[in-house]
Amino acid sequence: MFRQLKEDLDSIMERDPAARNRLEVFFLYSGFKAVRSYRKAHWLLEHGHPFLARWLSQRARHKTGIEIHPGAKIGKGLFIDHGMGVVIGETTEIGDDCTLYQGVTLGGTGKDKGKRHPTLGNNVLVGSGAKVLGPMKIGDNARIAAGAVVLSEVPDNATAVGVPARIVRISGVRPTNLDQVNITDPIEQEICRMQAQMGHLQKKVNCLSKDSLKKEETVSQKRS
């Protein structure tokens, strides 16, 4: 328990520039409080005390605005930044060193039983207001842009953008920052590429038209 506590504290200190010291994080950060309560509730659930587990998780929800079902499986170093409105469903699985911003939902798509919530790999970042719905896998080092709605699998080292989310690869490199805003839109990139190509083709057409006019003028001069 103390090792997990230290890992959770360290993850926030490393990733949040506003965190000045561990005491501040321990006593004032709602995301840290919610994760700490979850770990106690999860322990109670695993040791045959489901009512106490749910009571503790609902108590944490009222205090922090973050709802984490005690049945979820969460690795070390989870950082929930600000956190208000975050919902993590019962069969959710979260790997190590993941980051969730406010308003994130890791939810199901209906009333199916069994595995019905997403699985996040390691080092995953989910931006503000993003919704990840269903039992799909979000790969290691993936990023979900703010406001995205993810309904299908996201590969390792990829970014999901838009509603519904579209996938764009980011060269297989682990994200080294928590920038959830400046994420490239693949459709915008493709439109820009096509516009550049059309401009190049237009120049060629103009050159050919000029050559054709010169040839016609030369022929008409010879005839005259």
144 forms beta bridges with 126, 160
Do 190 and 176 fall within a single domain?
A: no
Do 136 and 105 fall within a single domain?
A: yes
Do 33 and 83 fall within a single domain?
A: yes
3-state secondary structure of 22: helix
Do 170 and 129 fall within a single domain?
A: yes
Note the pLDDT tens digit of each residue in 114-161. Answer: 899 999 999 999 999 999 999 999 999 999 999 999 999 999 999 988
Length of the chain: 224
Q: Which of 104, 155, 107 is nearest to 130 (CA)?
A: 104
Q: How many domains, the chain? A: 2
Note the pLDDT tens digit of each residue in 81-116. Answer: 988 999 999 999 999 999 999 999 999 877 677 899
How far from chain centre, in Å, is Cα 61?
Answer: 22
Note the pLDDT tens digit of each residue in 27-71. Answer: 888 999 999 999 999 999 999 999 999 999 999 999 999 999 999
The last residue of a domain, from among 182, 198, 216: 182
What pTM was estimated for this model as a whole?
Answer: 0.73
Q: Which domain holds residue 203?
A: 185-224
For residue 13, CA distances in Å to 5, 19, 28, 143, 176 come to: 12, 6, 13, 20, 15
Q: Which amino acid is present at 134?
A: G
Do 71 and 152 fall within a single domain?
A: yes
